[in-house]
Each structure stands twice: as C-alpha cells, then as structure tokens.
C-alpha cells in the first residue's frame, strides 16, 4: 500500500511539472509562471471593469472559489483587490488584498 502512494505521488508530480512546462513552452505562461498573451489581456480587462477602474497587474492561474484566473488590481484610491475570474473571464469573487498597506503604511499580514 505504501509503495502505491509513492508511485501515485510521483505520477501526480510529473504530470503537474509537465503541464507547467507545456504551458510555458506554448506561451500560455511567462517565465515567472504568470498567464501571458491574449488570455492575460482579457483577464486584466475584465478585472479592471469589475472594480470600475484601476490598474491590473500580473495574471495568475487560480483554483480558489471555482476560479481560473486571479488578477491583482490597484484601484484609483490606491487600495488593491484580488479579482478571481472563471474560464470565461466572468467575475467569481473580488477580495481585498491582504498585502495592501493599512492606514499606518504597514502591511496587514
């Protein structure tokens, strides 16, 4: 039984590494592992539209809350939010970014 778990874990690791390599090689992910290209552009546009303006940062693959993409957006007032989008670039959830500075300039961590 223990051997089966080791083989299964190794197989899962190999598949995940392979998928990341394919995504990077085909231009879906950049060197830092962020989504790039047309999908990233569409995700940024949808995220900024969802919070009524601001500046979108990098786009990451995400699997929280049923999302596919996560975009950090800095709103015009300087606060940042994480916008999670599904595979069709529809908003799943908008969350306050826990790394945003609070009123005294420190991170909220």
Q: Decide which of 30 and 54 is more confident.
A: 54
Q: Is the dihedral of CA 70, 39, 42, 74 positive or negative?
A: positive
pLDDT digits (tens, 9 = 90+) for 32-76: 578 889 999 999 999 999 999 999 999 999 888 888 999 999 999
The pTM assigned to this predicted structure is 0.62
In angstroms, the CA 107 to CA 109 distance is 6
Minimal CA–CA distance to 46: which of 79, 78, 97, 88? 88
Minimal CA–CA distance to 62: which of 38, 39, 31? 39
Minimal CA–CA distance to 70: which of 49, 89, 85? 85
Q: How confident is the model at residue 9 (pLDDT cuts 50, 70, 90)?
A: low
């Amino acid at each position: 039984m223990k051997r089966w778990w080791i083989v299964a874990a190794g197989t899962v690791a190999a598949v995940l590494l392979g998928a990341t390599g394919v995504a990077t090689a085909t231009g879906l992910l950049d060197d830092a592992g962020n989504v790039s290209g047309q999908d990233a552009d569409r995700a940024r546009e949808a995220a900024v539209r969802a919070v009524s303006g601001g500046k979108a940062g990098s786009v990451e693959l995400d699997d929280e809350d049923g999302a596919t993409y996560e975009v950090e957006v800095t709103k015009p007032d300087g606060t940042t939010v994480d916008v999670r989008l599904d595979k069709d670039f529809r908003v799943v959830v908008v969350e306050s970014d826990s790394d945003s500075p609070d009123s005294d300039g420190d991170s909220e961590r």
